Structure 1
Amino acid sequence: MRDVLKTLSYGTLHFTVGFGVTYALTGEVAIAAGVALIEPAVNTVVFYFHEKAWARWPARIMKPLDFRGPAHSA
């Protein structure tokens, strides 16, 4: 359920940004609405499966990175 809620939240943000940017560039509500409906809808579905794929990625492959530099390495 958390993944679904996160996906819906992302979709809402993406729609808002898509509409705002397209409207700012074109000044056309109809074009902005069309772009904002189609592009984020596709990306929202892709994002959901992207999250599922990352959730399956073995943790052992993603070793923690030490950003403190070589002086602090073990």
Structure 2
Amino acid sequence: MVVAAKKTSQVIAHLAIAFVITYAMTGSALIGGLALIIEPVINVLLLPFHEKAWHAIRARARDERDRYMKIAAEKISQTALHMVVAFSVMYVATGSLAFGGIAAVLEPICNVILLPIHDRFWEKLELRLNAALRVA
């Protein structure tokens, strides 16, 4: 139940970030709504493949330092993936390279900053719920 709520909340966070950025840049609720649907869906579809590939790469780490370097590379790669998707969606929606470029910078920054906070919230909630279940 908690996993489903967390995933739903994660999708909603992606949707909100895409909408707010697009609406702020274009002033159009229609284009914001299109971005709200398209951009996060593409990211949610691509991220499991990205995570699976990086899981295999991290598994081949030679030592702790190499593991941390691979984690850093994964985060850079994840940011690049978000940038490409954000640019593509905004460019297709508006036909503007400038808007595409701005979205490519803002959207991944927001996701990289906000989604770990989101995930930490859910991890703490899961720990509290599990602790409450053990006590009961």
State if a TM-score over 0.5 links the two structures.
Answer: yes
Q: How many residues align?
A: 64
TM-score, normalised via structure 1 length: 0.63
CA contact (8 A) 1:3 1:48 kept: no
RMSD: 2.8
1:41 alignment counterpart:
41
CA contact (8 A) 1:7 1:47 kept: no
1:71 alignment counterpart:
none
Please give the alpha-carbon distance, in whole angstroms, between the structure 1 residues aligned to 2:25 and 2:60.
45
The runs of 5 or more residues in structure 2 that have no matched partner are 66-136
Q: How much does 1:21 deviate?
A: 0.5
Alignment of 1:1-74 (within 5 A): 8-57=8-57, 59-61=59-61, 63-65=63-65
Larger Rg: 1
Please give the alpha-carbon distance, in whole angstroms, between the structure 2 residues aligned to 1:56 and 1:5.
27
Q: 1:29 to 1:57 in 2, by over 3 A?
A: same
Q: How much does 1:27 deviate?
A: 1.2
Structure 2 counterpart SS, 1:57? helix
Task: Give the counterpart letter for 1:36 in structure 2.
Answer: L
Structure 1 counterpart SS, 2:59? coil
Q: Which has the larger helix fraction?
A: 2
Structure 1 counterpart SS, 2:64? coil
Q: How much does 1:11 deviate?
A: 2.5
Point out which structure has higher relative CO (alpha carbons under 8 A, 6+ apart): 1
Q: 1:45 to 1:60 in 2, by over 3 A?
A: same
Q: 1:57 to 1:45 in 2, by over 3 A?
A: same
Please give the alpha-carbon distance, in whole angstroms, between the structure 2 residues aligned to 1:41 and 1:35.
9
TM-score, normalised via structure 2 length: 0.38
